[in-house]
Amino acid sequence: MNEERDRFLTEAMGLCWHDYDPDKPLNTYSLEAYICTKCKGFILGNNDFSQEEDFSRLLKWVRGQERLQELLASFDEASFAGTGKGQASREEFADRLFLILKD
């Protein structure tokens, strides 16, 4: 996980980069969850844009940003699926997006 990149992109999307104590989980039936001290949300953790679930939210946001359409068009969206090459494509996309927005 690239925490600096993922935090920046999460906040660029207008979402909360959660603040929580990883040593104090709330145990549910099958997972550990947390309460964010900033937004008070019930969370599983912060975004990791190398993972498909989190990346899908990033991709949806990028599709709605006119200025990012050139970046989006430079990738084959089918390449984002799965592990291995899919994860590498998601990482490359997130890295390039980070650089564009950082400027």
In this predicted model, what pLDDT tens digit does every residue of 24-57 receive, in sequence order?
A: 888 777 788 999 999 999 999 999 999 999 999 9
pLDDT, tens only, 89-103: 999 999 999 999 998
pLDDT, tens only, 16-27: 999 999 888 887
**Helix locations, 34-83, DSSP H:** 52-63, 69-73
**Taking a C-beta distance cutoff of 8 angstroms, is the pair 90, 80 a contact?**
yes
Residues in the chain: 103
**Taking a C-beta distance cutoff of 8 angstroms, is the pair 3, 93 a contact?**
no
Per the rule left: phi > 0, alpha: psi between -120 and 50, beta: everything else, 84 is left
pLDDT of residue 86: 94
Q: What is the pTM of this model?
A: 0.89
